[in-house]
Amino acid sequence: MEIILLKDIEKLGYKYDTVTVKNGYGRNYLIPQKMAVVANATNIGKRDEIVAKIEAEKEKRIDEFKAMAEQLKDKVIKIGAKAGTSGKIFGSVNNLQLVQAIKEQLDLDIERRSIELVEEVKNLGSYTAIAKLHKTVEATINFEVVAE
């Protein structure tokens, strides 16, 4: 069954993606919970209009995205994490924690999905991440994981 997602669903897809799911999962769970709609011609047309509006808004904000990339370029974001004596942290640092740290330290709102960690963060130290703010604008984020 082809459906259009109305929300981000972990391990399935992001909002406005068209995905294929089993009939029962779509009909008995996703559609009644208002998490998806059937991917028929009408709904695909509506989705295309909404996505086009979102893309147009992003195009208008391209200068803002370039300014964000400039702000991020030379900054080092500090993220506190609980760590053992060997420098290994308990758990790992993910893009959500990075977004929160950027919001606190630089007062920038970046979408969580647009940040991609270059490597898994499981130890104290310096790391980098890539923020895809727009199709044409990418920023490198340098961050350091420090012990709390």
pLDDT at 33 > cutoff 80: yes
State the pairing for strand pair 76-81/121-123.
unpaired
User: Can you give the pLDDT at residue 49?
Assistant: 95
pLDDT bucket at 28, cuts 50 / 70 / 90: very high
List, in order, residues 6 or more apart from 114 with CB less than 8 Å away: 131, 132, 133
- The answer on pLDDT for 8 being more than 90 is no
Q: What is the pTM of this model?
A: 0.66
87's tokens:
């420098």
Q: Is pLDDT larger for residue 72 or for residue 41?
A: 41
pLDDT single digits (tens) 50-99: 999 988 888 888 888 888 888 888 889 999 888 888 888 988 888 899 99
The amino acid present at 49, given as its one-letter code, is: E
Mapping DSSP onto H, E and C, the string for the chain reads CEEEECCCECCCECCCCEEECCHHHHHHHHCCCCCEEECCHHHHHHHHHHHHHHHHHHHHCHHHHHHHHHHHHCCEEEEEECECCCCEEEEEECHHHHHHHHHHHHCCCCCHHHEEECCCEEECEEEEEEEECCCCCEEEEEEEEEEC
Cα distances (Å, whole numbers) of residue 99 to 38, 60, 84, 104, 129? 33, 23, 24, 9, 11
Q: Please, which pLDDT band fits residue 16 given cuts at 50, 70 and 90?
A: very high
Look at residue 66 in the predicted model and tell me its pLDDT: 87
Domains in the chain, please, with CATH? 2-60 (3.40.5.10), 62-147 (3.10.430.100)
Q: What is the pLDDT of residues 94-121, one digit of tens each?
A: 889 999 999 999 888 888 888 988 888 8
CA 85 – CA 87 distance, rounded (Å):
6
What value does the mean pLDDT of the chain take?
Answer: 90
Q: Which among 114, 113, 138, 115 is positioned nearest to 62, based on CA atoms?
A: 138
pLDDT at 26 over 80: yes
Query: Confidence band (pLDDT; 50, 70, 90) for 48?
Result: very high
